[in-house]
Amino acid sequence: MPANLKPAASRQPKPATQLNHLQSDKAFRLLVEGIQDYAVFLLDKDGFITSWNPGAQRIKQYAPDEITGKHFSVFYTEPDRSARNPWRQLEVAAETGRYQEENWRLRKDGSRFWADVVITAVRDKDGNLMGFGQITRDLTERREAETRYRLLIEAVTDYAIYSLDPKGIITSWNTGAERIKGYTTDEILGRHFSTFYTPEDAAAGMPAYVLRQAAENGHYEGEGWRVRKDGTRFWSSVVVTAIRDEAGELVGFSKITRDVSDRKKLLDTIQQHAEELELRVAEREQTNAELEAFSYSVSHDLRSPLRAIEGFADIIATDYGNQLPEPVQAYLNQISNATRRMNRLVQDLLEYSRLSRIELKPTATDVEAIIEDARQQIEEPLREHVKLDVQAGLQAFVHAPTLTQIVYNLINNGLKFYPAGKQPQVEVSARRGEGTVRIVVSDHGIGIPVEHHERIFQVFERLHSATKYPGTGIGLAIVKRGISRMGGTVSLKSEPGNGSTFTLEVPAVG
């Protein structure tokens, strides 16, 4: 049998358990030696230091040989030592197995650090106390950050910032909370936050709802009435945030409340004004509708007497014209002109009021045909002064007769408002816009001052006398009403002496 295949039993090994103990002791010592962030050291039964790791040296500044054999009470502040706290804590650890606290401790140079200390009793297998193990962590930085944060929150005065436990009991309170809600910290800690709700909201279960929402979604945001200590109400804007520990367990809520009563008052006032305005607009619309109905019936009724005057004036002119003296012929002529003007006015008024009464059913319409139609209605020789530039195949979704009337009115104005003796010139173009067809009617005439751009779209608003430029003042009102009833818009660019450009946008097909 080769030597290396000898049965293991024939060797002389150390007992397996003893080997493991030794190895694990060594491993443990190496582990403790490697720890930098914690002071890990041992005390004998009376509190004298027997071992010291590099973490302890880093935190407390003593080298191992400086501190070994010294009593661990050197780490305590004078008041702690006078109160015999080091000895008392060893007693507790010996009795209960463990003592833990967060408190001030001293470094070798006398400076303080905030320590998290755990003292554990070490016993042999028979239960006899051998000494104590101590683990200390330096939490000074964390404590400073927490203090800074707490002071910051406490100093905030514009916001009430406070925390709740998972059931809604108040656990912290800042200056802002005191200012806004009127309770001092002592008065409010330990009370339920539903104290701030109105009786109606509390009865409706709002506080529980708010916490449930925050727990489920992480956040709750809302606005509502809250009650101050003195019973007065304020309008608050609230954010509630659920706070969870690393394991995801709900540990409470933070609550930030702002008094936004001023904003609420402002909004309420604006709302009230808006309602009043709406009421007035409705009243005005009602009055307008009544006026329109009135003017419609008057215009309608004027038609037959007008026809009679026109008819009889015609008969007199045709049958007796030659026999009449010169001045009477002239008067008759004036009667005819006046009735023609009145006819025009009546027709325009009827057309205008018809536009708001009838249904303008839109259909897919060829834009080029509409513009050509409108141009044809202009009498020769003026028609020659209208130039068209229309993209072929344009289709708009409009009421064709109304759009024709609108384009006609704009062309007609463009040819009319020219300085005496100058040749009028009107261009009509049409292009595809974004979802719209854009029709532009422009002239090189007298132009319109900017301050009148809105006014001229209203009924009877004219900028000139009828003798200088004849008209009824209804043409643009028809344009405006017709175009908006078809879901389109009209806009104007113009200034005196530089002509005018009216742009229509109507819904395109496709």
| Residues at the interface with ligand ADP (CB under 6 A) | 409, 413-414, 417, 443, 445-446, 448, 456, 461-464, 471-477, 500
Instruction: Output the smallest distance, CB 292 to ligand ADP, in A.
Output: 16
Of 457, 481, 344, 349, give the one whose Cα is nearest residue 402: 481
Q: Which is nearer to ligand ADP, 400 or 459 (CB)?
A: 459
DSSP 311-348: HHHHHHHHHHGGGS-HHHHHHHHHHHHHHHHHHHHHHH
Instruction: Output the smallest distance, CB 460 to ligand ADP, in A.
Output: 8
Instruction: Output the smallest distance, CB 458 to ligand ADP, in A.
Output: 8
| Beta strand 386-390 pairing with 426-432 | parallel
Instruction: Output the smallest distance, CB 352 to ligand ADP, in A.
Output: 10
With b meaning 16 or more CB within 10 Å and e meaning fewer, what string describes 491-501?
ebbbeeeebbb
Per-residue HEC secondary structure of 241-263 comes to EEEECCCCCEEEEEEEEEECHHH
Tokens of 480: 């405006």
Q: Are 409 and 461 in contact (CB under 8 A)?
A: no
Sheet holding 219-227, edge to edge: 170-173, 159-164, 250-259, 233-244, 219-227
What's the CA gap between 437 and 507, in Å, rounded? 6
Instruction: Output the smallest distance, CB 423 to ligand ADP, in A.
Output: 15
With b meaning 16 or more CB within 10 Å and e meaning fewer, what string describes 70-87?
ebbbebbeeebeeeebbe
Instruction: Output the smallest distance, CB 457 to ligand ADP, in A.
Output: 7
Instruction: Output the smallest distance, CB 220 to ligand ADP, in A.
Output: 58
Instruction: Output the smallest distance, CB 417 to ligand ADP, in A.
Output: 3
Instruction: Output the smallest distance, CB 313 to ligand ADP, in A.
Output: 24
Instruction: Output the smallest distance, CB 342 to ligand ADP, in A.
Output: 14
Calculate the CA dihedral of residues 63, 64, 66, 69 and round it to 10 degrees. 160
Q: Are 226 and 196 in contact (CB under 8 A)?
A: yes
Q: Which is nearer to ligand ADP, 405 or 413 (CB)?
A: 413
What's the one-letter identity of residue 284? R
* 3-state percent helix, strand, coil for the chain, nearest multiple of 5: 50, 25, 25
The CA-atom distances, in angstroms, between 440 and each of 169, 371, 417, 490, 504 are 70, 11, 17, 10, 6
What's the CA gap between 132 and 98, in Å, rounded? 9
Q: Which is nearer to ligand ADP, 332 or 338 (CB)?
A: 338
Q: Are 117 and 101 in contact (CB under 8 A)?
A: yes
Q: Which is nearer to ligand ADP, 365 or 409 (CB)?
A: 409
